[in-house]
């Protein structure tokens, strides 16, 4: 379904969707093979972030449906289930240091197309 | 700990650095916080636990000899000699040698796998040993033993036992019934408790394998912590001929002088009036007395009360004052909730005026307040049980005067012995945040138990100064909800982004976004998914359905007053079967359909709407249901038609968004089958009309609604409700139900009645107009979604695979329906 466009430093950039498919200051869930990746558009800062969609707390596929925000300038996502918050910079759980961190992914925009960078050679 | 506190206190008293201070410590590091020792297992390092770093001693010209215990005191020459061969002379000598763990002479205590719990090194040894242990045991069911047991659980030893010699846990602090409740709670945490057990031997070759008890039973174990009490470190004192007690401890007088007036003893090694004080607060008080004595002010130590609160274990336990007053000298009030595992007992003077002491288990929120009430002999309210249970019902019942009613001398922070007066003075001097007060007074910096009281004092003092306390929303908006609502109204703002541009900064967060979203909805009643406001809604509002375990959603159509035709029931059944939904009658007289996939929601609603249903707003902080009883149409007692009135009310306020959800009910007579008095607003038929009750709540803190006005005709009743609801919407803090709002409202129900019924603020006309505008603007939001292809697109799990369902969602079968698979 998605096309691989380039491979550099063992990062595969795959096409996720178009910019206007993602609500401003919100998120969507992207299917990447069997995986689910949450993609966030911080429209006010013109920044994009991506992370695993699964919340490590109760292992719910939910982060893309959470609320984006910042804490002292650091971008974060709050899980809709119990409002644990995770940094989108380094994936650590901000609200509960004992909680596992989430994996984050780089995002690139080219001609209104959104690409997410995943490890390793192309899978799809 | 106490020696460090002594240094701190004496330095602050010496204006010019005239004195030379030398500290010898046996341990390899400077004094650290033993009270929070267990946090070492929660990731704190030895550095984190230090009372002050080594540099502090340098800055204050204190010579510090570490890892070098004093071995001899020459009292005639006034010198001390250390292990490393240093000799120092002294004018005054302060002994703060603390205590060691008491290890009973049980054969086998020297085996591998047997530990004590006193120093960082002890904990390091335990941490290194724990990975190979499966069964842990603690000897000693006192304060420290339970803390050690929790530590074993935290170290991953799920199978941990506590052995207590006495017939109950914490025999020195709590009574039998309390101990039983505590035992229950601890077993829920996974601890197995054995009382009345006398350990006679520790089994195993050179490593422990188990314990043998005097009653011939035995228990397997591969790790043991002994926490059977403390033994004051008085060996040095004995050696130089100072008087010590039979059971240990250096004998001191009210000035904490030993039998040699130039030598003081403080902390856990000191024996005052036959008593060793095994807590840090009395030790700090002793340090204060000696520091004053040496610098020329007279103060005395006359004992200290042993109130304590157990920390860390996951169960609140506290005892204060004298918990064991005999029945002849006191009355007691006992509260027990075996379901929740809460036990509280207080002893009061026979005349009911003063609090003597008590025990709290399972819920110790009131500890600080009760401790201060007992210590300061504050006069109790007319119903002394109110101090335990809080004021219940009634309009202006007052559960005692609160922290502001304490005298100025009342000690608020007992660790640092900071009085109420000192804290209030600091606030008056401009320290208006908790951090500022902590810095300025040190209150709340040790165990933290007094922090809630300090906060109340800050707010109380500021209010008394006529200052306005702002309950700001979060780092992005420096306004209270009420202020922000007024601003947004005034500036006619319609989206979160505009609100942030005008009145906030940064990007917003999960706290301010739903607050602003709710304000916008309460003011304008626009479709909440419009104007980019969809992403600032809580997940439930964003998808107009309640998210559930596993990530599916529930569908709750409105069934006003609980009345439904068989034809509509059939539609619900058909929809449920078609989309494979679990169905249940709710506690709000309607039907909930659970387990819908996100992408099915618009289709499900399309079918329901076609049959005449509309959204039930079960997902919003909005009006939920107006329950009704069957009323005069069928019931032989019914005074009026409660069903018709309930439907009218529900249809008037449907979709109304508020700081929290709103529930209502209408009963056809005083038998109250609709439970109207447990609702945010409830209506009960009378011979002459309707009685209107407001601010009731079910949920975790149930509270009965209070009568606002009686014998109203239907029209007046609705006008009062308009005013009441609009006033609540405009003034309540976020996520505050009407009951809590009223509890905090100055003047309570009398004030509210004056505003709503007597128009004391002259605003009722506006309130009614504003409510009417919201009512007129109502639209079913699901209908709007179903009719808009653009909005429907947002109900997809995958942005790049529309219609694909989340493959991780799984169901199980139960009683012929489906249920969500449990959390992983
Ligand atoms: C479905 C229902 C239980 C049932 O099977 O009967 C229910 C289900 C939920 N309740 Fe409730 N409550 C239900 C009746 C009640 C009642 C009884 C009543 O209304 O008569 C109460 C106590 C009365 C009260 O509110 O004063 C009640 C007190 C709560 C509370 C605590 C409120 C409080 O002030 O303490 C919450 C939590 C909250 O709102 O923050 C809550 C929250 C919830 C939520 C919304 C939790 C959530 O956010 O996911 C549950 C949603 C389930 C879902 O997925 O649909 N529910 N809940 C009932 C729906 C009634 C309806 O038709 O709308
Ligand atoms: C795990 C644990 C939890 C606790 N929890 C609480 C609590 O919640 N609340 C509470 O109030 N109290 C609690 N306590 C008790 C509290 O820690 C003690 O009351 C406090 O530490 C006593 O202070 P101290 O200065 O008298 O003794 P210590 O802190 O023991 O200091 C004495 C120091 O003197 C050293 N020393 C001894 N002999 C010599 C010598 N000859 N020369 C040089 N140095 C010497 C010792 O090595 C030690 O470092 C707890 C204790 C432990 C172990
Ligand atoms: S009582 Fe608790 S578990 Fe039951 S429905 Fe309400 S919120 Fe859910
Ligand atoms: S599942 Fe995400 S916070 Fe609980």
pLDDT category of residue A119 using cuts at 50, 70 and 90: confident
What's the gap in Å between B22 CA and the centre of ligand 2? 19
Evaluate if residue B158 carries a pLDDT over 50.
yes
pLDDT for res B396: 36
Which pLDDT does position B394 carry in this prediction?
A: 38
Residue B723 has pLDDT above 80, yes or no: yes
pLDDT at A113 over 50: yes
Residue B147, token pair as written in the block: 């803390």
A31, B801: Cβ pair inside 8 Å? yes
Whether the model pTM is above 0.90? no
Do A60 and B551 count as a contact with CB atoms less than 8 A apart? yes
Closest-CA residue in chain A for B537? A67
Give the atom of ligand 1 at the shortest distance from the alpha carbon of B621.
39
Which residues in chain A are closer than 8 Å to B500, comparing Cβ atoms?
A: 44
How much of chain B, in percent, has pLDDT values that exceed 90?
62
Rounded mean pLDDT, B86-108? 94
The average pLDDT across B526-540 equals: 90
> Any CB–CB contact under 8 A between B627 and chain A?
no
Q: What percent of chain B has pLDDT over 70?
A: 96
CA atoms of B525 and B512, how far apart (whole Å): 19
Q: Which of B150-164, B407-421, B749-763 has the lowest mean pLDDT?
A: B407-421
Q: What is the mean pLDDT of the segment spanning B34-46?
A: 86
The yes-or-no verdict on residue B381 having pLDDT over 80 is no
**Which helix (DSSP H) or strand (DSSP E) does residue B218 occupy?**
strand B218-220
Mean pLDDT for the stretch of residues B444-464: 79
Confidence of residue B359 (pLDDT cuts 50, 70, 90): confident
Q: Which of B475, B534, B800 sits opposite A72 (nearest CB)?
A: B475
User: Do B543 and A65 count as a contact with CB atoms less than 8 A apart?
Assistant: yes
Q: Which whole number is the average pLDDT over B492-521?
A: 94
Contact A71 B539 (CB under 8 A): no
The reported pLDDT for the residue numbered B701 is 79
Q: Which of B551, B666, B699, B742 to mutate for ligand 1's pocket (most ligand atoms within 8 Å of CB)?
A: B699
Report the DSSP pairing between strands B275-276 and B308-310. Answer: unpaired
Q: In chain B, what residues touch A39 (CB-CB under 8 Å)?
A: 799
B814 contacts: CB under 8 Å, gap ≥ 6 = none
Residues 6 or more apart in contact with residue B193 via CB below 8 angstroms? B141, B161, B162, B164, B169, B183, B186, B187
For B18-28, what is the mean pLDDT? 91
- The reply to whether ligand 1 has any atom less than 6 angstroms from the CB of B583 is no
Residue A62 clears pLDDT 90, i.e. is over it: yes
pLDDT digits (tens, 9 = 90+) for B316-335: 788 888 766 666 777 778 88
**pLDDT value at position A32?**
95
Contacts B540 to A, Cβ<8 Å: 80
Whether B542 contacts A98, CB under 8 Å: no
pLDDT given at position B658: 95
The ligand 4 atom nearest the CA atom of B823: 1
User: Would A123 be classed as within a structural domain?
Assistant: no
Of B658, B767, B691, B683, residue with least CA distance to B723: B767
d(CA B241, CA B259): 9
Phi, psi of B562 (to 5 degrees): 80, 10
Average pLDDT of the residues in B527-532: 88
In DSSP notation, B751-813 reads HHHHHHTS-TTS-HHHHHHHHHHHHHT---HHHHHHT-HHHHTT--S-TTSTT---TT--EEE
| Span from the CA of B699 to the centroid of ligand 3 (angstroms) | 9
For range B528-537, the mean pLDDT: 90
CA dihedral over B26, B32, B35, B36, signed as positive or negative: negative
Q: Is the distance from CB of A36 to CB of A61 less than 8 angstroms?
A: yes
Closest to A27 (Cα-Cα) out of A57, A65, A74: A65
| Structural domains for chain B | 2-99+232-294 (3.50.50.60), 103-228 (3.50.50.60), 402-469 (1.10.10.1100), 481-537 (no CATH), 623-776 (3.30.413.10)
Task: Tell me the average pLDDT across B550-562.
Answer: 95
User: Cβ distance B733 to B659 under 8 Å?
Assistant: yes
- Assembly ipTM: 0.72
Which H or E run contains A95? none
CB contact under 8 A, B800 and A23: no
Quick: pLDDT tens for B251-294. 999 999 999 999 999 999 999 998 898 888 899 999 999 999 99
Secondary structure in 3-state letters for B646-681: HHHHHHHHCCCECCCCEEEEEECCCCCCCCHHHCCE
Q: What is the DSSP string of B556-582?
A: -B--GGG---HHHHHHHHHHHHHTT-E
Highest mean pLDDT among A2-11, B97-106, B353-362: B97-106
Nearest CB neighbour to A62, from listed B500, B551, B804: B551
In angstroms, the CA B141 to CA B137 distance is: 11
Tell me which residues of chain B, numbers 456 to 475, contact chain A at a CB-CB cutoff of 8 Å. 475
> Which tops the pLDDT comparison, B367 or B242?
B242
**Complete DSSP assignment for B426-491:** HHHTT--SHHHHHHHH-TTSSS-TTHHHHHHHHHHHHHHTTPPPP---BTTB-S-HHHHHHHHHHH
Cβ A62–B547 below 8 Å, yes or no?
Answer: yes
Q: According to the model, what pLDDT value does residue B16 have?
A: 65
* Residue whose C-alpha is closest to residue B793's, from B520, B534, B516, B526: B534
pLDDT confidence of residue B342: 84
CA B528 to centroid of ligand 3, rounded, Å: 26
Question: Is residue A59 a part of any domain in this protein?
Answer: yes
Per-residue b or e along B633-664, where b marks 16 or more CB atoms closer than 10 Å to that residue's CB: eeeeebbbbbbbbbbbbbbbbbbbbbbbbbbb
For β-strands B159-163 and B191-194, DSSP reports them as parallel
pLDDT of residue B177: 82
pLDDT: which is higher, B408 or B619? B619
In whole angstroms, what is the distance from residue B713 CA to residue B683 CA?
A: 11
- How far apart are alpha carbons B623 and B617 in whole angstroms? 7
B587 touches chain A (CB under 8 A): no
With beta carbons under 8 A apart, name residues in chain A contacting B474: none
Question: A72 CB near a chain B CB, below 8 Å?
Answer: yes
Instruction: Give the pLDDT score at B678.
Output: 97
Burial group, residue B687, by CB count within 10 angstroms (0-12, 13-18, 19+): exposed
Among B561, B522, B526, B527, smallest CA distance to B771 is for: B522
Range B26-35 average pLDDT: 94
Calculate the average pLDDT of chain B. Answer: 89
Answer yes or no: is pLDDT of B397 > 50. Answer: no
3-state SS class at B397? coil
CB B20 within 8 A of CB B57: no
B824 interaction partners in chain A (CB closer than 8 Å): 58-59
Atom of ligand 1 nearest to the CA of B553: 54
Angle at B442 between CA B437 and CA B445, to 5 degrees: 100
pLDDT of residue B563: 95
pLDDT of residue A121: 47
Question: In sequence order, which residues have a C-beta less than 8 Å from that of residue B219 and are 6 or more positions away?
Answer: B137, B161, B163, B194, B210, B211, B213
For A104, the token pair is: 């984050």
Q: Is the pLDDT of residue B499 over 50?
A: yes
Residue A124: inside a domain: no
Is B597 in contact with B809 (CB distance < 8 Å)?
Answer: yes
Of B514, B532, B809, the CB nearest to A24: B532
Q: Are residues B475 and A71, on separate chains, in Cβ contact within 8 Å?
A: yes
CA of B665, nearest ligand number: 1
pLDDT category, B418, cuts 50, 70, 90? confident
Q: How many CB pairs under 8 A join A and B?
A: 102
The CATH number of residue A90's host domain is 2.102.10.10
Which are the contacts of B566, defined by CB distance < 8 A and separation ≥ 6? none
Q: Domain of A46?
A: 3-117
Atom of ligand 4 nearest to the CA of A84: 3
Euclidean distance between CA atoms B402 and B710, whole angstroms: 33
Parallel, antiparallel, or unpaired: how do β-strands A54-55 and A60-61 relate? antiparallel
Q: Check CB contact under 8 Å for B551 and A22.
A: no
Q: How many domains does chain A have?
A: 1
* Mean pLDDT of the B720-729 span: 97
Q: Are B55 and B76 in contact (CB under 8 A)?
A: no
């Amino acid at each position: 379904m998605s096309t691989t466009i380039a491979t550099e430093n063992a990062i595969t950039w795959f096409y996720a969707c178009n910019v206007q498919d993602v609500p401003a200051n919100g998120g969507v869930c992207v299917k990447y093979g069997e995986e689910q990746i949450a993609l966030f558009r911080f429209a006010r800062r013109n920044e994009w972030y991506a992370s695993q969609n699964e919340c490590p707390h109760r292992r719910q596929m939910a982060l893309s449906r959470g609320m984006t925000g910042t804490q002292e300038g650091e971008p974060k996502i709050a899980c809709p289930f119990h409002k644990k918050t995770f940094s989108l910079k380094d994936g650590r759980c901000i609200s509960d240091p004992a909680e596992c961190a989430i994996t984050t992914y780089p995002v690139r925009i080219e001609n209104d197309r959104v690409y997410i960078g995943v490890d390793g050679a192309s899978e799809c | 700990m106490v020696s460090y506190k002594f240094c701190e206190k004496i330095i602050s008293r010496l204006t010019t650095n005239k004195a030379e201070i030398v500290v010898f410590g046996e341990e390899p590091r400077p004094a650290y916080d033993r009270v929070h020792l267990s946090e070492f297992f929660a990731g704190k390092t030895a550095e984190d636990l230090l009372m002050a770093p080594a540099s502090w001693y340098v800055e204050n010209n204190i010579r510090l000899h570490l890892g070098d215990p004093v071995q001899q005191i020459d009292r005639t020459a006034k010198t001390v000699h250390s292990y490393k061969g240093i000799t120092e002379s002294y004018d005054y000598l302060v002994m703060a040698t603390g205590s060691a763990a008491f290890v009973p002479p049980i054969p086998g205590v020297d085996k591998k796998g047997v530990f004590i719990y006193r120093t960082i090194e002890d904990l390091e040894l335990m941490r290194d040993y724990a990975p190979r242990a499966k069964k842990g045991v603690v000897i000693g069911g006192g304060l420290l033993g339970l803390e050690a047991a929790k530590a074993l659980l935290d170290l991953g030893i799920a199978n941990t036992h506590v052995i207590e010699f006495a017939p109950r846990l914490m025999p020195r602090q709590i009574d039998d019934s309390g101990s039983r409740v505590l035992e229950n709670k601890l077993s829920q945490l996974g601890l197995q408790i054995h009382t009345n057990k006398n350990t006679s031997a520790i089994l195993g070759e050179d490593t422990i394998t188990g314990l043998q008890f005097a009653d011939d039973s035995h228990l397997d174990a591969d790790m043991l912590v002994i926490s059977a009490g403390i033994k004051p470190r008085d060996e040095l004192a004995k050696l130089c001929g100072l008087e010590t007690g039979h059971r240990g401890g250096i004998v001191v007088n009210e000035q904490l002088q030993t039998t040699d007036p130039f030598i003081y003893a403080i902390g856990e090694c000191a024996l005052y009036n036959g008593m060793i004080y095994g807590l840090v607060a009395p030790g700090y008080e002793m340090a204060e007395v000696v520091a004053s004595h040496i610098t020329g002010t007279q103060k005395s130590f006359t004992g200290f009360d042993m109130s304590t609160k157990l920390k860390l274990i996951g169960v609140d336990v506290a005892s204060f004052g004298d918990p064991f007053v005999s029945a002849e000298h006191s009355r007691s009030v006992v509260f027990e909730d075996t379901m929740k595992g809460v036990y509280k007992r207080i002893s009061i003077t026979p005349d009911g005026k003063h609090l003597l002491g008590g025990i709290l288990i399972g819920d110790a929120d009131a500890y600080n307040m009760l401790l201060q009430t007992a210590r300061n002999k504050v006069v109790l309210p007319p119903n002394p049980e109110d101090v335990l249970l809080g004021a219940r019902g009634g309009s202006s019942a007052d559960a005692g005067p609160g922290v502001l009613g304490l005298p100025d001398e009342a000690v608020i922070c007992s660790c640092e012995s900071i009085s109420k007066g000192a804290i209030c003075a600091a606030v008056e001097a401009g320290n208006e945040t908790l951090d500022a007060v902590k810095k300025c007074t040190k209150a709340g910096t040790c165990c933290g138990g007094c922090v809630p009281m300090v906060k109340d004092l800050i707010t109380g003092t500021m209010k008394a100064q006529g200052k306005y306390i702002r309950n700001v929303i979060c780092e992005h908006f420096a306004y209270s909800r009420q202020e922000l609502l007024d601003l947004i109204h005034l500036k006619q703002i319609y989206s979160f982004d505009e609100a942030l541009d005008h009145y906030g900064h940064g990007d917003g967060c999960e706290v301010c976004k739903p607050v602003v979203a709710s304000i916008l909805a309460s003011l304008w009643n626009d479709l909440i998914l419009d104007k980019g406001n969809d992403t600032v809604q809580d997940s439930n509002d964003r998808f107009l359905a309640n998210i559930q375990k596993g990530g599916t959603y529930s569908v709750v159509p409105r069934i006003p007053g609980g009345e439904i035709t068989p034809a509509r029931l059939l539609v619900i059944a058909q929809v449920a079967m078609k989309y494979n939904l679990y169905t249940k009658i709710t506690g709000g007289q309607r039907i909930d359909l659970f387990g819908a996939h996100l992408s099915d929601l618009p289709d499900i609603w399309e079918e329901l709407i076609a049959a005449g249903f509309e959204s039930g707003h079960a997902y919003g902080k909005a009006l939920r249901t107006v329950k009704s009883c069957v009323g005069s149409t069928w019931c032989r007692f019914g005074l009026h038609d409660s069903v018709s009135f309930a439907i009218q009310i529900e249809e008037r306020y449907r979709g109304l968004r508020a700081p929290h959800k709103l529930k209502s009910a209408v009963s056809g007579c005083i038998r109250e089958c609709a439970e109207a008095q447990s609702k945010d607003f409830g209506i009960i038929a009378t011979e002459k009309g309707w009685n209107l009750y407001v601010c009731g709540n079910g949920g975790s803190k149930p509270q009965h609604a209070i009568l606002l006005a009686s014998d109203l005709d239907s029209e007046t009743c609705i006008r009062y409700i308009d005013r009441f609801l609009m006033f609540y919407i405009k003034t309540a803090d976020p996520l505050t139900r009407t009951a809590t709002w009223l509890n905090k409202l100055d003047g309570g129900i009398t004030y509210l009645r004056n505003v709503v019924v007597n128009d004391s603020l002259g605003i009722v006309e506006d309130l009614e107009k504003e409510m009417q505008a919201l009512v007129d603007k109502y639209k079913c939001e699901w209908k709007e979604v179903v009719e808009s292809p653009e909005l429907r697109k947002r109900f997809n799990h995958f942005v790049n695979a529309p219609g694909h369902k989340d493959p991780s969602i799984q169901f199980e079968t139960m009683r012929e329906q489906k249920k969500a698979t449990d959390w992983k």
